[in-house]
Structure 1
Amino acid sequence: MKSVGDVPERKLSKTEPPPVVLTSELRKVYRTGFFLNQKIVSLKSCSLKVYRGETFGLLGQNGAGKTTLFKVLLGIVRPTGGRGLLLGKPLGDRAVKQRIGYLPENTYLYEYLTGWEFLQLTAGIFQIPSKVQRHRIPELLELVGLSLADAKKKQMRRYSKGMLQRVGMAQALINDPELIFLDEPMSGLDPVGRYQMREIILTLKAAGKTIFFNSHILSEVEKICDRIAILSQGELICSGSINDLLGTANTYRVKGQGGDWEVLSNWLPNIEFLADGSWQGELHGDVYDFLASLRLMGGQIMAMNLFRPSLEEFFMEQVRERKNS
């Protein structure tokens, strides 16, 4: 019998690299109530892939299941159903934990330790030799923008929210992980702190790290991520690159009349046919080829404007559609 967490091997195409995160139909149900007779479904049939070297953003409202998904992937809680792989190993594999980093949404730090002492403690858990710690800890402090003086002399109970987030990020990187999970890394930070955290993530991306994070700051996600997924009420409702989901900077909103409706549907997949006989939609394809095709069909352009929704607009539209379905 296959245990939860095992994924059957599958053949990958020559052009598709093996994902570092792979889930198939993951589910998580919590039981509550005095007799544990009530069920809360936190994850429903969640299937996704994250590839090496990419920055992947998970979006969703509070209670959507984002943190639950992180905890399942990290082996903190066991899934109720479904399967998954992390760096090619079944979920919960202990050896994999040496190769990943994790920054929780609420960092639980030993407040009477200094930042330096805390990073030494974390390094000890990973059995990192003292001689390696002596150069790695200062390098990480420089990366996250925390001064040596604050790290060595000031207890963490006296740190600001931004300083605590920086120490938390440093501990997530202490073992030089291949795959980094960041749970709301910009939560509670001011605009300067968010900018600095974004620069840290981009530096890690440039170094070839794989970063999987969730955030409510959608404008930051749009700037950072290669691909995103939206989780709503425990269900993954869409995923893809920013350009795939929002359209490129050259996406056009087109309105016209006439032409062959079947051909038009190929150019404008979300085409709307209006009561007055005209039509409108977003153009997918080369604008000059479309205009030439429309001319051959005897169609006519009434309006054409550059259009690309923001990630926030796209997110709200997806969530509204899910609620109304």
Structure 2
Amino acid sequence: MATGTTAVGTAGGALDGLPPSPAVWCSGLRKRYGRRTAVDDVSFTVGRGEVVGLLGPNGAGKTSVIKMLLGLVRPDAGEVLLLGRPSSDPRSRSAVGYLPELFRYQPWLTAAEVLDLHVKLSRVDVPAEERRECLALVGLAERTGDRVGGFSKGMQQRLGLAVALVARPELVVLDEPTSALDPLGRVDVRDIVLSLRARGVAVLLNSHLIGEVERVCDRVVILDRGRVAASGTLAELLGQHEVRLRLGDVAPRVEERLRVTGTLTRSGDWFTVALAAEDDGVTVPDLVRDLVGLGVRVHAVEPVRISLEERLLAVLRHDEPAP
């Protein structure tokens, strides 16, 4: 018995030293509705403190995937772990905040009462002051005592975001969080997502606003017809980037210096240089310094890179990305 206890203790100590499991791990998710396959063999992870964007056209299966991750829909096949536990275990969802795409709160409740209700449901001790701070974070500090029935769609969206955040989640799942929000509201959501990442909170973000995804996400998963069409970091998805320079007084030795940096193309006084995908950020400043040292007049320096929108469209159309 003593030996067994020691072995367990040793194993436990070894496990304690391991890095935490991913916030989300799913493998081989499948779901059919009648004859239609909504999700087919979807696998991906969301690391702790990582923001992952879920992109794809309407009907691609994004919301179905989210519901399977959260145990709201049972998959026909596949496995899901949330924060290291099977999604079938209710404890796996105790530290998850969720903003669904479509939701409604009781119109007779005030914003503060809605938050109080969800704190009770979460069984997490959240002081009243912290609840007020959560409402202030989403821009509802002046409306805490107002009934939800009088809220605009944008204000209800802000309240839904507060509900997702109030119980100090380790994973936040946001399904179209900027729906019905004005430009200022979208900036607020972006800042909140970035602050969550800074605190080590994982975020899974489903949004049609590709620009927002490109600004805040570490990795992107693109779904098309229920399958993963592409996934990776933004650098991996967007590939090689370039820099365009408008130069004057270009001598042959100047072109030689440009070619040392990468493949060179010229159109008049504009020179385009392809940069390595693993560029460390000093290549362009060093290049400009050397050009000035060679007596070149540098009139303009413009970074050029395929946008996430272009890459998404290329994937969905089964084309190569635009150069």
TM-score normalized by the length of structure 1: 0.73
Shift in Å, 1:198:
1.1
Q: 1:307 is matched with which residue?
A: 304
* In structure 2, C-alpha distance between the alignment counterparts of 1:207 and 1:183, rounded to whole Å: 21
Q: Structure 1 residues 88, 134: closer, same or farther in 2, change over 3 A?
A: same
Q: Structure 1 residues 282, 174: closer, same or farther in 2, change over 3 A?
A: same
Percent of paired sites with the same residue: 42
Shift in Å, 1:157:
1.2
Any idea what SS the aligned residue of 2:53 has? strand
Q: 1:169 is matched with which residue?
A: 161
Match of 2:175 among 169, 177, 183: 183
Report the AA paired with residue 133 of structure 2.
E
Match of 1:91 among 79, 87, 91: 87
Match of 2:22 among 19, 24, 40: 19
Residues 167-214 of structure 1, C-alpha deviations (whole Å, 9 max, x = no match): 101111121110000000011222111111111211222222110011
Report the AA paired with residue 95 of structure 2.
R
Q: 2:78 is matched with which residue?
A: 82
RMSD over aligned CA atoms reads 2.7
In terms of mean alpha carbon deviation, does 178-187 or 14-23 score higher?
14-23
* In structure 2, C-alpha distance between the alignment counterparts of 1:285 and 1:309, rounded to whole Å: 16
Shift in Å, 1:247:
3.1
Q: 1:262 is matched with which residue?
A: none
Q: 2:139 is matched with which residue?
A: 145
Q: Structure 1 residues 71, 285: closer, same or farther in 2, change over 3 A?
A: closer
Residues 208-257 of structure 1, C-alpha deviations (whole Å, 9 max, x = no match): 21100110000011000011110001000111111111136x5469xxxx
Any idea what SS the aligned residue of 1:19 has? coil
Report the AA paired with residue 59 of structure 1.
L
Confirm or deny: 8 A CA contact 1:85 1:91 kept in the other structure: yes
Any idea what SS the aligned residue of 2:211 has? helix
Shift in Å, 1:69:
0.3
Q: Structure 1 residues 48, 172: closer, same or farther in 2, change over 3 A?
A: same
Match of 1:102 among 98, 103, 107: 98
Kindly name which structure, 1 or 2, has the bigger radius of gyration based on alpha carbons: 2
Match of 1:220 among 212, 218, 234: 212
Residues 45-83 of structure 1, C-alpha deviations (whole Å, 9 max, x = no match): 001111100111000111110000000000001100111
Confirm or deny: 8 A CA contact 2:82 2:93 kept in the other structure: no
Are 1:239 and 2:242 counterparts?
no
Report the AA paired with residue 42 of structure 2.
C
> Gaps spanning 5+ residues in structure 1: where?
1-13, 32-38, 254-266, 269-279, 289-304
Confirm or deny: 8 A CA contact 1:251 1:282 kept in the other structure: yes
Are 1:157 and 2:154 counterparts?
no
Shift in Å, 1:16:
8.1
Structure 1 stretches of 4+ with a deviation exceeding 6 A read 14-17
Confirm or deny: 8 A CA contact 1:98 1:175 kept in the other structure: no
> Gaps spanning 5+ residues in structure 2: where?
1-16, 245-261, 264-272, 285-301
Q: Structure 1 residues 47, 128: closer, same or farther in 2, change over 3 A?
A: closer
Report the AA paired with residue 143 of structure 1.
L
Match of 1:59 among 55, 59, 72: 55
Confirm or deny: 8 A CA contact 2:87 2:93 kept in the other structure: no
Q: Write the mapping of 1:193-232 to structure 2, written as runs, cut at 5 A.
A: 193-232=185-224
Report the AA paired with residue 131 of structure 2.
I
Q: 1:117 is matched with which residue?
A: 113
Confirm or deny: 8 A CA contact 1:120 1:133 kept in the other structure: no
Shift in Å, 1:90:
1.1
Confirm or deny: 8 A CA contact 1:103 1:182 kept in the other structure: yes
